[in-house]
Amino acid sequence: MCGIIGYTGHRAANDVLIESLKRLDYRGYDSAGIGIIGENLQVFKEIGEISMLQHSIPKIKGNLGIGHTRWATHGKVSKENAHPHLSCDKKIAVVHNGIIENFRTLREELENKGHIFTSQTDSEIIAHLIEEEYKGNLEQAVSSSLKKIQGSYAIVVICEDEPEKLVGARNESPLVIGVGDNENFFASDVTALLKFTNRVIYLDDGEFCIVTKDSIHIFDRNNTEIQKKENIIEWDFNDAKKSGFPHFMLKEIYEQSDSVQRVLRGRVSEIDRSIELPDKVEILLNDAIDSIHIVACGTSLYSGMIGKYLIEKITNIPVFVEISSEYRYFGTKDRSSLVVFMTQSGETADTLGALKKAKNAGSRTIVVTNVIGSTAARIADGFVLTQCGPEIGVAATKTFTSQMLSLLLIALKIATIRKELGSDEIYSYIRNLKDIPRQIRQVLAQSDKIADMAKHLKDATSVFFIGRGVNYPLSLEGALKLKEISYIHAEGFAAGEIKHGPFALLTKDTPVVAIVTRDATYDKIISNIGEVKARGPQVIAIADEKDTEIEKHADFVLRFPTNTGLLSCVSITVILQLLAYHVAKLRGCSIDKPRNLAKSVTVE
């Protein structure tokens, strides 16, 4: 979603804002703008990527300013709708991420008072509201304006008459303060700050904050000043660069041989034959568990669906997987004692809504996330970090494989606590887990072959992915990766389901990707492939390296290294990711920033 930055300090605000916006553009990028106070307040906006803005603005003098990348929600993509938004007297500028639900009423009231609006956005009302409330003190005007606003927001506000301060506030949209020496920052995402500082303070809902270059004052909803602790971010600035890869997505696919090691590091012990998770999580897993709900959106949801197979196989606990946007309104009736939320960013609005709902309903909550300090990590009773480092490509890759493995670790831990697995079985899982990085490297070494295979898909208008068992959610993920970055229509199906309707869509021009593992359903998926081929399409099978039969059934075969049933998920995923990547590349698509999508969906 939208990205926000604010800066005050000794550097040229122009440079800091543009640099930080570039780091944020993966959150949303249909337009961008900056506002800087030098001799007076100046605002510049541009449609398109940050580089368009960078090249269209003059060098502006000034050491304090705000910036924004927009992902349109209210109002079309246009310069007028881009942020910052200005008050009528053009002295107050605001950047906003979120949705103001009562903006129509507020706009009408403000228009009746004579305010002239120049955009169709909900965000612009904030600038006019603050102008209406302004009596010479920006923070007071912001604070009283926010009392009138319903909805979600992270905002940063500046005022020409008080050129030394930034005022920021958050409610259900992320905002952090970056702490520097003789300079301070606001950002919607720590990635934006890494070049300048790794010291951050996380704001919570209802808090607002006055920042100058050498002071930070934070207030709670009751306007009482509070002290908050500073956190050190371990991520390296270089992790957020492409490091020679043509795309972040490809870099992040390749990083998986390391990232899966990181998710296991310190958590599996071959010597002790044990699994260790953060203390708070272990306590939550120790209590009686009747059933588990896993709740998430998008790719994270599919990792949850894979988690269902893993947990149910290893522990005998029933697992229910729910879409966050449904669960938050309908899901807590048959609540489980334990609800696990999967969210790479930890900021997805629907998942946060569902998390709050589960907490209020009295469930124990665990979050699996990649972002320490994210809202989800701070709200949940316990969290497991996937420890992948920043993921910049909009398509989730390395975080997906680490989410799957985190759920496997949770399953193994529960099984140990409940004595459902003995130490030999745990040992054997650990051995197999430790072989995964090598197996990923083996798949990566086939990248050219996968790129070749992509030629068979690049002109398709529709592609089916099919699989059984755990390969069903993998099919959903394979289809999601392909559709989001190549814009080819793709659907994932449980292989047994295609004869119940989807068959009607199959023609010889609908390639089918079949995931084939050597398990109890092997014969079934082979006969599904036969049914498909009888209708004309070509079949690409993703099959075990030891499968000597598959060539007889499929037109093309990509191989993954043998691992115990469920653990081949990771290698299969890497093949699916590379396939989608190469198809999108052949089609010349904007791989890291697919149209209409944002990395982190912070509005409902």
Residues annotated as part of the active site: 2, 599
Residues in the interface with ligand M6R (CB under 6 A) total 16
Residues 6+ apart with CB under 8 A from 397: 249, 252, 253, 256, 391, 577
User: Under DSSP, is residue 209 helix (H, G, I), strand (E, B) or coil?
Assistant: strand
CB of 482 to ligand M6R, least distance (A): 11
For residue 192, what is the DSSP state?
G
Residue 399 or 439: the one with the smaller Cβ distance to ligand M6R is 399
Asked whether position 344 contacts ligand M6R by CB under 6 A, the answer is: yes
Q: Is residue 325 within 8 Å of residue 297, measured between CB atoms? A: yes
Binding mask 472-511 for ligand M6R (x = CB under 6 A): --------x---x---------------------------
Applying CB under 6 A, which part among 21-29, 112-120, 187-195, 388-396 lies near ligand M6R?
A: 388-396
Site for ligand M6R in 292-321 (CB under 6 A): 297-300
Asked whether position 396 contacts ligand M6R by CB under 6 A, the answer is: yes
Tokens matching residue 281? 């999580």
Asked whether position 152 contacts ligand M6R by CB under 6 A, the answer is: no
One-letter amino acid for residue 493 of the chain: F
Applying CB under 6 A, which part among 159-167, 211-219, 393-401, 447-455 lies near ligand M6R?
A: 393-401
Residue 162 or 484: the one with the smaller Cβ distance to ligand M6R is 484
What's the CA gap between 368 and 407, in Å, rounded?
Answer: 8
CB of 103 to ligand M6R, least distance (A): 25
Closest residue to bound ligand M6R by CB: 298
CB of 303 to ligand M6R, least distance (A): 9
Asked whether position 345 contacts ligand M6R by CB under 6 A, the answer is: yes
Asked whether position 343 contacts ligand M6R by CB under 6 A, the answer is: yes
Tokens matching residue 297? 């959106």
The strand pairing partners of 184, in sequence order, are 8, 179
∠ CA 182-185-190, rounded to 5°: 125
CB of 296 to ligand M6R, least distance (A): 6
Asked whether position 66 contacts ligand M6R by CB under 6 A, the answer is: no
Asked whether position 351 contacts ligand M6R by CB under 6 A, the answer is: yes
Query: Among 280, 266, 267, which Cα is nearest to 364's?
Result: 280
Residue 377 or 396: the one with the smaller Cβ distance to ligand M6R is 396
Helices 124-133 and 103-112: angle between axes, nearest 10 degrees: 50
What's the CA gap between 275 and 261, in Å, rounded?
Answer: 14
The strand pairing partners of 556, in sequence order, are 540
Asked whether position 401 contacts ligand M6R by CB under 6 A, the answer is: no
Applying CB under 6 A, which part among 189-197, 206-214, 344-352, 533-541 lies near ligand M6R?
A: 344-352
Residue 218 or 580: the one with the smaller Cβ distance to ligand M6R is 580
Q: How many CA atoms lie within 13 A of 91 on its CB side?
A: 15
Task: Out of 268, 426, 433, 601, name the contact with ligand M6R by CB under 6 A.
Answer: 601
What's the CA gap between 79 and 57, in Å, rounded?
Answer: 14
Task: Out of 395, 450, 529, 539, name the contact with ligand M6R by CB under 6 A.
Answer: 395
E strands along 181-256, which residues?
Answer: 184-187, 199-202, 208-212, 215-219, 225-226, 231-232
Asked whether position 568 contacts ligand M6R by CB under 6 A, the answer is: no
Cis peptide before 84 (omega within 30 of 0): yes
Q: Is residue 508 within 8 Å of residue 536, measured between CB atoms? A: yes
E strands along 364-483, which residues?
Answer: 364-369, 382-385, 462-467
CB of 248 to ligand M6R, least distance (A): 12
Residues at the site binding ligand M6R, with contacts judged by CB under 6 A: 297-300, 343-345, 348, 351, 394-396, 480, 484, 600-601
